[in-house]
Amino acid sequence: MGFNTFGSQNKIYGGITPVWLDVDGVKQSGGTLDVSAYPLNYIIPAGTPIYLPVMGGNFVVLNSYQLAQDLAAGDVVAVFAANGDCPQAAAGLVVMAAPATYTSTGKAAAIVSVATNVDENGNSTISATIVAGSLGTGKAGDIYVEAAATGNTALINTTPNGLLWHDIVVGDGDTIATADVVFDGTILMARTSPIPTCVINSLPEINFENE
């Protein structure tokens, strides 16, 4: 399967676990993303929420992260699950608990530094250092998303109007990636990054199915 990245080389990838049961509606012309600053082999997985302002335009990705441990008000570390090839919590990101709606506000904080932990069963988590109290409280399993800015009245970074059809894999020399945006279909949620309820509620033509 080709992943529609363009640069100094052409590459073909395959063997990725399918996440779509069916795809019934795709925005014509798709969209593009500048990946020149992305690290080599970075993967934006199929099913990731994205916002495409106009068909054929530049899209914005909304990455999400799942809290692996309860977060108390005074904690200086938030522990997130490490979900395989899905984007990971990283230093410099501004995150917030996924809001109830796209217009709801919440507490957002910048991640200062991260450390990867592996337990005796081989399960990985990422400890993200934050300013004490900057994210409020949270429960294990809560979904966090990228925020537009830090502060106590932050908004979600973008308002997705579709989901990524195929994985994007950033290869050596790639500068631009193209993507198809699905607005109608059935997706297997267990095979994607965690999708917040505000996104699910805003995409009524997509069936989010649990296996």
Q: Look at residues 59, 204, 66, 176 and name the one whose alpha carbon lies nearest to residue 126.
A: 66
For domain 5-60+158-209, give its CATH number from 2.40.30, 1.10.3470, 2.40.300, 2.60.40. 2.40.300
Q: Look at residues 82, 66, 38, 34 and name the one whose alpha carbon lies nearest to residue 141.
A: 66
Q: How far apart are CA 83 and CA 77, in angstroms?
A: 18
Lowest mean pLDDT, pick from 83-97, 142-156, 191-205: 83-97
Q: How far apart are CA 79 and CA 66, in angstroms?
A: 9
Q: What is the pLDDT of residue 58?
A: 94
With pLDDT > 90 as the criterion, what percentage of the chain qualifies?
Answer: 74
- Identify the DSSP state of 201: H
Q: What is the pLDDT of residue 11?
A: 41
Give the residue-averaged pLDDT of 180-209: 95
pLDDT tens figures, 65-88: 999 999 999 999 999 999 877 889
- Give pTM, 2 decimals: 0.88
For the chain, domain boundaries = 5-60+158-209, 64-154
Q: What is the pLDDT of residue 167?
A: 92
Q: How far apart are CA 209 and CA 190, in angstroms?
A: 8
